[in-house]
Structure 1
């Protein structure tokens, strides 16, 4: 006999408690209001949760393992090709069979995935649920079992803490933006996790996407941004701000940039560098000066200096995809493959509708960096 009804009449926390106390085995499906998305599924075995699926995070396991440093993108792609040859096998099972990760690694990430999906579902207020008894299915050869009681207790704790967070972070759809630096402001003293979140803030993506990119829970990212907002490091907006128009170039600056460009066109790269060095000292807030300075250093083969200039340009204009594209090659020339890979990945994210050949080159370069980093890991380099 199925158990079903609207969420407005019976909250999911009550449904979970009922299935836990009665030690039910089967699958709970939850369809959101309007039926625009595929229903979420939560699998139960004798009252405990053994699996959860949500359309927005169906490919989360590979991403979580990647962020945890357990696999490389090349290894994930190899495992997916193996899945295509033998459909029906779970990604975690393939990775374990290939000796890339352990069962404990998979179990830990599956548990995290279940927790995050259940916590998100519990917040749903509208929709329809239906529980049907039967075999719960599996996650492949790796099994995981999470106490329903512990899930509900953690959910209650988060709801309680969220009442404090929502004063600055009302929901995961808000967009964090960096607050302009003040010369008199305090020096930032942040934890590594805070720096990690700060690095992902670009003024355009909502918290939900930032949490997904980091492979962290929505709640943890919301707490970090709440702290950053409380100390004045970031501001939180309901929608992305309109891009500010670039300040017009003053005539002396415009003329000097033109002179540097002519010098580069004539092959006088060192002369261009000297002009641009002076401009950078006089106009340290102009991204275009550092971008052109990086080009001069690149032509002179000074890749370290080019990387520094591009880093400053990116700091002044973090949404300039071309700067990140060039930064990838500069970093690769200096041997910093991790930074190169991150730069190309940022470029691909920012310039998703840009020059197709350039995007293809960035993708090939990123994949090549991944492959080399994977081989170096295998060799212990």
Structure 2
């Protein structure tokens, strides 16, 4: 069965929901004024994705810009690819020029970035052919459609708030304090947050950190904003080392002042409690005269009973009254 129409009448979200619910197998072709993107489905699960805008393998572009692969090695691998049946990335992995882990992370960046782009299309056409399944030149993956919908809509919803907090891409982030287990728990930092924190070295710009993280841009920038909001990181223009050092010193000083203030407050509180507490009974400071006279009388009676060998537990009310009168006489 073939489906086709315009994105104005039937949005990308609705198309993905239909494919997911009916567990369709086939190829979805989405066309906008800028590009055409094809997605291959198998029982509602995305198995491959490709775009007519990819002049080179987008994974290679990400690895080159991130400094994980030289353009020369990539071009050489492409030439060797034409001479044998091995793909360029398999050749480079066998040669030890790149790691499979880096290639997988680059694939994840390409797929999530492309899907985010597609879900924001408001104009264009779609066509779904349930007999046309072609993975040639497609970037392989295995992503349930329902998960894509939820994750992408979350990003679209959160992006406006994150975007307004993103520092200029040429600024350099600086860590203010080391990342400890206590801090990680306090701010509920995740794996991406800690990965971004580890990449901060006072030399890399925001743009460099995002590229070298091999994380989808939204995830990397969200983590950086989170680190800034918690006060663990600050950003400064490149070449302003003196300003950075002054700000860091000021932050450390304020932290120490807060700690010292806490200790001083604790000591003062203990002193006040000691002054207003039990010692007042002995000094009589701040206690009405009637109460101190009563306490003194009771102390004198107790001392008198002790001299006369009288046990307090053996006294009854009448005895106590007589002894009290006798003592006063």
Query: Which residue in the other structure is 2:125 paired with?
Result: 128
2:29 is paired with a residue whose SS is strand
Structure 2 distance, partners of 1:229, 1:5, is 44
Query: Which residue in the other structure is 2:58 paired with?
Result: 60
Contact 1:31 1:39 (8 Å CA) reproduced: yes
Query: Which residue in the other structure is 1:317 paired with?
Result: none
Query: Which residue in the other structure is 1:148 paired with?
Result: 145
Query: Which residue in the other structure is 2:182 paired with?
Result: none
Contact 2:173 2:205 (8 Å CA) reproduced: no
1:18 is paired with a residue whose SS is helix
Structure 2 distance, partners of 1:140, 1:42, is 12
1:80 is paired with a residue whose SS is helix
Query: Which residue in the other structure is 2:17 paired with?
Result: 17
Query: Which residue in the other structure is 2:79 paired with?
Result: 81
For residues 230-249 of structure 1, the aligned pairs below 5 Å read 230=229, 233-234=234-235
Deviation at 1:129, TM superposition (A): 1.9
User: Structure 2 vs 1, CA of residues 81 and 233 (structure 1 numbering), >3 Å: closer, same or farther?
Assistant: same
Residue 176 (1) aligns with residue 180 (2): no
User: Structure 2 vs 1, CA of residues 233 and 97 (structure 1 numbering), >3 Å: closer, same or farther?
Assistant: closer
Query: Which residue in the other structure is 1:221 paired with?
Result: 220
Contact 1:25 1:45 (8 Å CA) reproduced: yes
Deviation at 1:52, TM superposition (A): 1.3
User: Structure 2 vs 1, CA of residues 100 and 20 (structure 1 numbering), >3 Å: closer, same or farther?
Assistant: farther
Deviation at 1:58, TM superposition (A): 4.9
Structure ranking higher on relative contact order (CA contacts 8 Å, 6+ apart): 2
Residue 26 (1) aligns with residue 26 (2): yes
Contact 1:2 1:133 (8 Å CA) reproduced: yes
Deviation at 1:187, TM superposition (A): 4.0
Structure 1 distance, partners of 2:67, 2:138, is 22
User: Structure 2 vs 1, CA of residues 13 and 58 (structure 1 numbering), >3 Å: closer, same or farther?
Assistant: farther
Contact 1:51 1:114 (8 Å CA) reproduced: no
Deviation at 1:192, TM superposition (A): 5.3
User: Structure 2 vs 1, CA of residues 234 and 6 (structure 1 numbering), >3 Å: closer, same or farther?
Assistant: farther
Q: What TM-score do you get using the length of structure 1 for normalisation?
A: 0.45
Unaligned segments of structure 2, at least 5 residues: 180-193, 243-329
Unaligned segments of structure 1, at least 5 residues: 236-240, 242-283, 286-381
User: Structure 2 vs 1, CA of residues 130 and 109 (structure 1 numbering), >3 Å: closer, same or farther?
Assistant: same
1:176 is paired with a residue whose SS is coil
Q: Which has the larger radius of gyration?
A: 2
1:125-180 superposed Cα distances (whole Å, 9 cap, x missing partner): 222222222342226799532211222222233234335314424xxxx9434389
Pick one of 174, 177, 193 that aligns with 2:196: 193
Contact 2:8 2:122 (8 Å CA) reproduced: yes
User: Structure 2 vs 1, CA of residues 196 and 97 (structure 1 numbering), >3 Å: closer, same or farther?
Assistant: closer
Deviation at 1:18, TM superposition (A): 0.9
For residues 308-323 of structure 1, the aligned pairs below 5 Å read none
User: Structure 2 vs 1, CA of residues 94 and 132 (structure 1 numbering), >3 Å: closer, same or farther?
Assistant: farther
For residues 196-215 of structure 1, the aligned pairs below 5 Å read 196=199, 199-201=203-205, 211=210, 215=214
Structure 1 distance, partners of 2:160, 2:170, is 22
Contact 1:28 1:129 (8 Å CA) reproduced: yes
